Amino acid sequence: MFKPTTAKSAKPKPPKKGKKKPSPEQLLDQLEHGDAPPEDPPEGAPGPEEILDRLRAAGARDLDVGEVYRVEEP
């Protein structure tokens, strides 16, 4: 649908060392079985505010929804 062409190269962030990542088994489980939408984050998992802080530190903007429209189907 969306025909991609090579856009300006994105430089991925290098993985930080010395911090804990999900184990391959945890990742595999999530990938293969999905991850039920949690009512509350699992114990020890970063919550929305911590993730927002990381995103802001990486340069994310706090974009607002703006005017709310009603989706009009053809």
Partner 1 sequence: MKPLKMVNPNGWLFPKEYVDKRGYLKGKQLVTKIDDYEVTYKFHITLSDATYEQDRDYVASFLYNNKFKFKCHLLRKMKPKEEERAFTIYPEKESDVIDIVAGLINLQKKHNLTAGSPSGDGIVVPGTSGLVTYHVERINEKLLRDMDSAGAFSDDTKSWLYFGGKLDDIKVKAWLKKDGGYIGKILPKSLRVDAMKFLFGRGPLDFLWD
Q: Where do contacts with partner 1 occur on this chain (CB under 8 A)?
A: 1-16, 19, 21-22, 24, 27-28, 30-38, 41, 45-52, 54-56, 58-74
Q: Closer CB to partner 1, residue 43 or residue 63? A: 63
Minimum CB separation from partner 1 for residue 15, in Å? 4
Q: Tell me how far apart the alpha carbons of residues 54 and 19 are, in angstroms, rounded to a whole number.
A: 14
Residue 26, exposed/middle/buried by CB under 10 A (0-12, 13-18, 19+)? Answer: exposed
Minimum CB separation from partner 1 for residue 32, in Å? 7
Minimum CB separation from partner 1 for residue 50, in Å? 7
Q: Closer CB to partner 1, residue 4 or residue 43? A: 4
* Cβ-contact 50, 44 below 8 angstroms: no
* Cβ-contact 58, 13 below 8 angstroms: yes
